[in-house]
């Protein structure tokens, strides 16, 4: 399957090109900047160092996603909140294939499955193991093809730049960062009985969107990388349900508000020069 297969399928049932962005994101494709920051649950006020945000759409027609224009000096970017989970994320990401955006930075919280990774640390996934259902719809034109357990990768060149900028900024701010291997799940509540199996697959992270994000971006031929802040660590008994301390939360908020925006802005600057 390629991206044109998706668009052709829509056109077969009456859609035109501009319908895709207008009815998915609530804005025209020509309003999307070269640089896009996309996230399941964060809004710009959670990463205030990114710049001044102007809300463009508060609830897009199909999925209820929100879109902002964010400006910081001579940098402008499109900021999109998709809603959580692979289906909402993928269906909001895929319309960007109709735009002229050049880079997509996926930011979010992530769960750790390694005692060496602390709450608030930054993690960059080098791949994601497919454990979701949504990305299977774009893995092949044959729905019977099961890609559960398959590794999916971010853009190689942008990933290299992200690692460099993350290392520089984290060293300046005394923040720990790690390279991760994500498992993309469809559920928080029902993941716990499977934690041992997920770890045995070689994963040290668990999230709900990465496999769909990496596969969709490859399909669109748009460079995409992920930059995560650890919100919980099941192995350390600090899950989303219980166990995190006030110090954990203070460190995590600092990283999200101060450190992640600096990395994003540096990555955009460097990306524009390559």
CATH of the domain at 75: 3.40.50.1580
Do the beta carbons of residue 124 and residue 180 sit within 8 Å?
Answer: yes
Judge if pTM exceeds 0.75.
yes
Residue whose structure tokens are 């649950």: 41
Domain that holds residue 55: 3-273
CB contact set of 49 (below 8 Å; sequence gap of 6+): 257, 258, 260, 261, 262, 265
- To the nearest 5 percent, what fractions of the chain are helix, strand and coil? 40, 25, 35
Confidence at residue 274, expressed as pLDDT on a 0 to 100 scale: 79
Nearest to 209 by CA among 185, 229, 189, 227: 185
DSSP H or E segment with residue 167:
helix 156-173
Distance between CA atoms of residues 267 and 269, nearest Å:
5
Q: How many domains is the chain partitioned into structurally?
A: 1
- Token pair recorded at residue 53: 């945000």
DSSP H or E segment with residue 260:
helix 260-273
CB contact set of 97 (below 8 Å; sequence gap of 6+): 3, 6, 7, 219, 220, 221, 222
pLDDT in tens, the chain (274 residues): 899 999 999 999 998 887 889 989 999 999 999 999 999 999 999 999 999 999 999 999 988 999 999 999 999 999 999 999 999 999 999 999 999 999 999 999 999 999 999 999 999 999 999 999 999 999 998 888 899 999 999 999 999 999 999 999 999 999 999 999 999 999 998 999 999 999 999 999 999 999 999 999 999 999 999 999 999 999 999 877 777 789 999 999 999 999 999 999 999 999 998 7
- Token pair recorded at residue 4: 């044109």
Confidence at residue 143, expressed as pLDDT on a 0 to 100 scale: 85
Distance between CA atoms of residues 258 and 73, nearest Å:
17
DSSP-derived secondary structure for 96-146 = GGGS---EEEEEEEEEE-STTSPTT-EEEEEEEEE--SGGGGGT-S-TT--
């Amino acid at each position: 399957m390629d991206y044109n297969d998706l668009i052709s399928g829509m056109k077969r049932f009456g859609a035109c090109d501009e319908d895709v962005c207008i009815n998915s994101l609530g804005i025209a494709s020509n309003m999307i900047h070269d640089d896009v920051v996309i996230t399941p649950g964060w809004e710009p006020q959670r990463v205030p160092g990114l710049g001044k945000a102007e809300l463009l759409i508060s609830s897009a027609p199909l999925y209820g996603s929100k879109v902002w224009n964010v400006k910081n000096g001579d940098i402008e970017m499109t900021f999109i909140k998709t809603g959580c989970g692979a289906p909402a994320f993928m269906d909001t990401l895929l319309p960007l294939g109709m735009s002229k955006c050049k880079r997509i930075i996926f930011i979010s919280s992530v769960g750790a499955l390694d005692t060496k990774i602390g709450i608030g640390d930054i993690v960059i996934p080098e791949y994601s193991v497919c454990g979701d259902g949504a990305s299977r719809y774009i893995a092949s034109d044959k729905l019977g093809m099961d890609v559960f357990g398959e590794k999916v990768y971010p853009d190689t060149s942008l990933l290299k730049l992200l690692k460099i900028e993350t290392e520089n900024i984290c060293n300046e701010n005394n923040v720990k960062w790690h390279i991760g291997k994500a498992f993309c799940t469809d559920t928080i509540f029902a993941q716990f009985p499977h934690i041992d199996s997920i770890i045995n697959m070689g994963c040290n992270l668990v999230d709900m969107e990465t496999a769909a994000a990496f596969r969709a971006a490859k399909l669109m031929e748009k460079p995409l990388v992920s930059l995560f802040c650890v919100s919980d660590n099941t192995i350390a008994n600090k899950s989303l349900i219980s166990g995190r301390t006030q110090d954990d939360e203070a460190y995590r908020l600092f990283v999200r508000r101060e450190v992640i925006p600096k990395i994003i802005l540096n990555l955009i600057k460097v990306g524009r020069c390559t």
